Amino acid sequence: MEDALGNLEVWKRGCRLAVKTYQVISKCTDFGFKDQMTRAAVSIPSNIAEGFERNSKKDFSNYLRIARGSCAELRTQIYIGRDIDLIDEDLAQQMINEALEISKMLQGLINRYNRKD
């Protein structure tokens, strides 16, 4: 991506996690679970992008919080997917770790944009 959003590492990592989520559950026949999980995954980079384009620190911070909530939702679904043998244990742990790292990065940005200028 050639715009400024493409320089935001947390957005790029969110996109990669969304792609990985689609790949991992592509053969899942529980369409409700599959839909919920992919929606949560796609919501992470989508909310980062939407907030980024708002041109307001307050709005950006709010959308980062929403993206962070989607990270928590996705982690929950990964745990469930692992426990019902939909996702391999090692792969699930890798995805959980990545979602946790993205969540930390989002919190860092939230803190940065909430500081008093």
Question: Residue 55 is which amino acid?
Answer: N
Rounded-to-integer distance, Cα 30 and Cα 48, Å: 28
Question: Residue 69 is which amino acid?
Answer: G
> Given its phi and psi angles, is residue 85 left (phi above 0), alpha (psi -120 to 50 degrees) or beta?
left
Number of independent structural domains in the chain: 1
The residue among 38, 45, 61 whose CA lies nearest residue 8 is 45
pLDDT the model gives residue 6: 79
**39-80: per-residue pLDDT in tens?**
999 999 999 999 999 989 999 999 999 999 999 999 999 999
Q: Residue 64 belongs to what domain range? A: 4-114
For residues 6 and 9, which has the higher predicted lDDT (pLDDT)?
9
CATH number for position 43:
1.20.1440.60
How big is the CA angle at 86 (ends 84 and 88), to the nearest 5 degrees?
A: 105
Position 97 pLDDT exceeds 60: yes
Confidence of residue 5 (pLDDT cuts 50, 70, 90): confident
**18-27: per-residue pLDDT in tens?**
999 999 999 9
pTM, full prediction: 0.93
